[in-house]
Amino acid sequence: MKVKLRVQRFNPERDARPWWAEYEVEVEDTDRVLDALNYVKWHIDDSLTYRRSCAHGVCGSDAMRINGANHLACKVLIRDVVTDGGTITVQPLMGLPVIKDLVVDQGPFFQKYRQILPYLINDEPPPARERLQSPEERARFDDTTKCIMCGACTTACPSFWANGEYIGPAAIVQAHRFIFDSRDRGAADRLRVLNEWFGVWRCRTIFNCTMACPRGIQVTRAIEEVKALLRSGKLG
Amino acid sequence: MAASHRTARVVSPVRPRFDVAVWSYMRWSGVLLIPLAFGHLAIMHLINNVHVIDACFVYYRWAMVGWRVYDALLLWLAYIHGLLGLRYVIDDYVHQPGLRRGLKGLAVVLGVALLTVGSVALVGGVRVTELPGGC
């Protein structure tokens, strides 16, 4: 089938503002949007710039805005976003500075990630073999372990668009992953960060993050659980 | 061993924020407003209409304390819910600290003024003797 790929492009060395490029691409309906972008880069215009790495929905490199919603280009099938002869619109993630074409500066995103101390904190003497955890305790934070840090949730959040100081859903999901881990002892430190004015209270429960997550994480639920914990102060 | 830690884990104290109270208020007032607002809609727009509702209608309605309490709850819950929503909007979209504080202050002043007017009306009721035709 033939589709038109409409890509928002921007080269800061040449362009005053972003512009739209259109490419006619011959694809299979079971191809992915990433395949269409690769076709453009390899056969039509090699200046087109975008991130991709594993191409199998694991690394999270190719998160972008496809037909107005955040997706991983390597997970979205052509047939799910367009019919024969139709147009696919591709834009960079919103809310982060564009470096070139579909590549955004992820620096601010990872700076927020570092704020929530994304590592296991436990100063207690380690047991002889390992810190044991029951299946139930592991299940408590299983959902948020699936995050691949693609940034689709944070850059789909209108609160983040409105104010880039907001720590964002991805950082809260990562905080949730450690706060509710029975082996971790750093919950209070993380909660202090999330309780700041740029923390969880800027979430307006819009649910864009949940819809955008390519891993199906219940992002809004995780954020609400952190809010409830901030109110009760008790893990359990 | 690991399980024993869970029951005792208390992560407070985290400095309580006004936002915690706001979050709780928004949820509880939201739940209460659903029946209150739909009840109001049904009474004022479905069961009755603009041809029926006049000062006498309000006079007889407010003769029952229960309806005054109903209207007071609707007024206070909805208005504060709306004001706190406006606080969210200002926090999100006004990035200059001075302007943000100013707008929030203005919202509080106007909000208190309008809540006062509404509350005075609810307590004062309708003075039927001042109506030209009475009721």
Residue A23 C-alpha, separation from nearest chain B C-alpha, in angstroms: 37
Nearest residue on chain A to B20, alpha-carbon basis: A231
Whether residue A182 contacts residue B3, with contact meaning beta carbons closer than 8 Å, is answered with yes
Residue B10 banded pLDDT, cuts 50, 70, 90: low
pLDDT in tens, B109-134: 999 999 999 999 999 988 887 777 77
Does B55 map to a domain?
yes
Residue A89 C-alpha, separation from nearest chain B C-alpha, in angstroms: 28
Residue B17 banded pLDDT, cuts 50, 70, 90: confident
The partner residue sitting opposite A230, judged by closest CB among B1, B14, B93, is B14
Name the residue type at position B68.
Answer: R
Residue A192 banded pLDDT, cuts 50, 70, 90: very high
Pick the range with the lowest mean pLDDT from A7-11, A39-43, A231-235.
Answer: A231-235
Calpha distance A30→A155 (Å, rounded)? 27
Phi-psi category of A60—alpha, beta or left, where left has phi over 0 and alpha has psi -120 to 50? left
Q: Which residues does residue A23 pair with via DSSP β-bridges, in sequence order?
A: A5
Calpha distance A66→A61 (Å, rounded)? 14
pLDDT in tens, B41-55: 999 999 998 889 988
The partner residue sitting opposite A236, judged by closest CB among B9, B14, B17, is B9
pLDDT of B74 above 50: yes
Domain residues for the domain of A66 are 2-104
B21: domain CATH number? 1.20.1300.10
Nearest residue on chain B to A136, alpha-carbon basis: B3
Domain tally for chain A?
2
Pair A121, A99 in one domain: no
Overall average pLDDT of the A205-220 stretch: 97
Answer with the one of A49, A74, A104 that is the final residue of a domain. A104
Q: Which long-range contacts (CB under 8 A, 24 or more apart) does A106-109 make?
A: A106/A151, A108/A164, A109/A151, A109/A154, A109/A155, A109/A168, A109/A170
Domain residues for the domain of B106 are 17-128
Residue A72: its pLDDT value, please?
98
Chain A residues touching residue B14 (CB < 8 angstroms): 188, 191-192, 195, 230, 233
Pair A162, A221 in one domain: yes
Does B37 map to a domain?
yes
Domain tally for chain B?
1
Contact B92 A163 (CB under 8 A): yes
Contact A235 B88 (CB under 8 A): no
Q: Does A138 touch chain B (CB under 8 A)?
A: no
Chain A residues touching residue B104 (CB < 8 angstroms): none
Residue B34: its pLDDT value, please?
98
Q: What is the DSSP letter of A32?
A: B
Calpha distance A143→B117 (Å, rounded)? 50
The partner residue sitting opposite B15, judged by closest CB among A127, A179, A195, is A195
Whether residue A200 contacts residue A227, with contact meaning beta carbons closer than 8 Å, is answered with yes
Residue B114: its pLDDT value, please?
96
pTM listed for this prediction: 0.88
Pair A95, A7 in one domain: yes
Pair A113, A214 in one domain: yes
pLDDT in tens, A65-107: 999 999 999 999 999 999 888 999 999 999 999 999 999 999 9
Overall average pLDDT of the A107-131 stretch: 95
Calpha distance A17→A9 (Å, rounded)? 9
Overall average pLDDT of the A129-146 stretch: 96
pLDDT in tens, A144-191: 999 999 999 999 999 999 999 999 999 999 999 999 999 999 999 999
pLDDT in tens, A24-69: 999 999 999 999 999 999 999 999 999 999 999 999 999 999 999 9
Chain A residues touching residue B87 (CB < 8 angstroms): none
pLDDT of B9 above 90: no
Contact A137 B91 (CB under 8 A): no
Residue A223: its pLDDT value, please?
98
Specify burial of residue A154 (Cβ count, 10 A radius: 0-12, 13-18, 19+). buried
Residue A236 banded pLDDT, cuts 50, 70, 90: low
The partner residue sitting opposite B95, judged by closest CB among A163, A204, A235, is A163
